[in-house]
Amino acid sequence: MSLSGLSYCPRAGQDHERRTVTAALPDYDVTDPAALALPREQLRAIQDERLRAMVRYVYERSPFWRRKLTEAEVRPEEIEGIADLARLPFTSRTELDAEQSAHPPFGEYTCSSREQWMGLFTTSGTSGRKLKRVVSRRDWRLMLDRFYRHPAPPPGEMFMLLGPVDGLLGPAVGVEAMRERGAIPVLAGTWDTRTKVLAIAELRPGAIAGAASYIIHLAEVAQEMGVDLASCGLRAVTSFGEPGAAVDATHAAIAERYGVGEIIDGYGLTEVWPLGGNCPFSAALHIADDLAAVECVDPDSGEQLPEGETGEIVFTNLIGDTQPLLRYRSRDVGQLTFSTPCACGSTVTRIERIEGRTDDMIWYRGANFFPSAVEEIVRSHPELTPEYRIVLDDGRRGLPVVTIQVEAASGTGAPEALRDPLRAALRSGLGVNPEVEVLAAGSLPRAQQSKARRVLDRRAGRSATVRGSGMSRRAQRDQGS
Ligand SMILES: [Zn+2]
């Protein structure tokens, strides 16, 4: 085998089993904004180089990766670039959880030593097992550097974080990066919703950030309090954790209630990296191709899908040195665009829209749909509030019954009159025919700080409230493997 061309290995060409030199990743510069508008071939060349270095790095540093690559019969030196991605094994969340249990606390896929770390983060969610994500000072710096590609906020501008920050990678990096750039973070995560409304009116932050469903709930509370958020001087609203800009009706609701033109979806995975967001010209999520390689695969077969087809999004971390993941299955479902540049000039890969998680997909009488599709339809009916819930019950003959619960906005007349048009819209939009229940405004539970729970599964043998409709076929396979 040949190891020539590896700059980190002074004994290139010798059997790597006898090497004593430890692989390290180069110090990449990620601050040049021009890198995201390079011709595709040049972007691809950067990816090729970084993938080669990454595969060799994880093989040498991590027993977990050495095992996986050996099982997949891949020798690191055989991986020449992105064209070889499909030869690499997938990684799943289930597998990482199992690995952290088997080799506590961080798992053997951790490639750097404790002396290099700056902190520990976890995946979000308030209960249950959390995946532990450690970050080196090098990786933290690279994450902060990336934010320098975003337009700077005006000096002295306040921005308010509506949800928790501590322990969460995306919000923590965002706050630190904005602080470095001269903006003033207001960490409002521990305040109740009414206090946040009063603070927005008094402090007049230029931007607020939180999960879209909570942002909408906050606007509702403001209305009850008689506070007009549209006159509070906001410039931008950022949603993370769920789409705010990418669902047209949600975008319109936020734009109107907050009086802002700029609505941004931030996107990233704690397990991978903060990855990108949309631009002023497009609601598609622009993925930093120089930081992560992105693929779209068939959720069942794992085969790579052509551009534009809907499938599961898979990420390969190209630069992180601490817990880098190859071919990590995000469980997010969407479509990729990369052969044409965005109107903003960016040539990076875009995810047109995250439709949902593979495990949120609801199967109903032979068809399937995502909660986000219900959201789009409900929020395009102004006679309804933006809230909705999808309830799954056991029906006769073992078939599930799906009921979409919505709320009549105050003063919109009889609920019965709202039901039939909504049912028709759902039928044509989803391709299934769910039951519809129109409730009084304020009946449904509101988002508390983070993503809303939109699915209530009351079928026998299911947990009382889950986000998804039960396990996807993919999740079942992960658990069985
Ligand atoms: Zn763009």
* Residue 212 · residue 236 · CB < 8 Å: no
For 291-309, what is each residue's pLDDT tens digit? 999 999 999 899 999 999 9
pLDDT of residue 449: 67
Output the CA 285–ligand 1 centroid distance in Å: 8
Decide which of 282, 298, 330 is a domain's last residue: 282
Instruction: Please enumerate, as own/partner, the contacts of 10-18 that have beta carbons within 8 Å and a separation of 24 or more.
Output: 16/60, 16/77
Q: What parts of the chain have a pLDDT lower than 50?
A: 1-10, 12-21, 464-481
The predicted structure's pLDDT at residue 467: 39
Tell me how far apart the alpha carbons of residues 27 and 23 are, in angstroms, rounded to a whole number: 13
Q: Is residue 134 part of a domain?
A: yes
8 part of a folded domain: no
265 CA distance to ligand 1 middle (Å): 12
Residues having C-beta closer than 5 Å to ion ligand 1: 279, 281-282, 342, 344, 346
My answer on whether 243 and 388 are in the same domain is no
- For residue 308, the SS3 value is coil
Q: Structure tokens of 403?
A: 């009921």
Its pTM stands at: 0.81
Measured from the Cβ of residue 15, the count of other Cβ atoms closer than 10 Å reads 9
Residue 280 Cα, ligand 1 centroid: separation in angstroms? 7
CA 360, CA 242: separation in Å to the nearest integer? 13
Where helices occur in 204-305 by DSSP H, the ranges are 212-225, 248-258
The alpha carbon of 374 and the centre of ligand 1 are apart by a number of angstroms equal to: 26
What's the CA-to-centroid distance between 261 and ligand 1, angstroms?
A: 16
234: domain CATH number is 3.40.50.12780
What separation in Å is there between the alpha carbon of 150 and the centre of ligand 1? 12
Same domain, 49 and 191: yes
Give the CATH number for residue 427: 3.30.300.30
Last residue of a domain, one of 255, 282, 309: 282
Cα(469) to centroid(ligand 1), Å: 33
- pLDDT score of 410: 80
Q: Quick check: is 440 in a domain?
A: yes
Q: What's the pLDDT at 315?
A: 98
Is residue 302 assigned to a domain? no
Specify the pLDDT at position 73.
96
Provide the residue range defining the domain that includes 366.
360-480
Backbone angles phi and psi of 350, in degrees to 5: -115, 145
Q: Are residues 277 and 392 in the same domain?
A: no
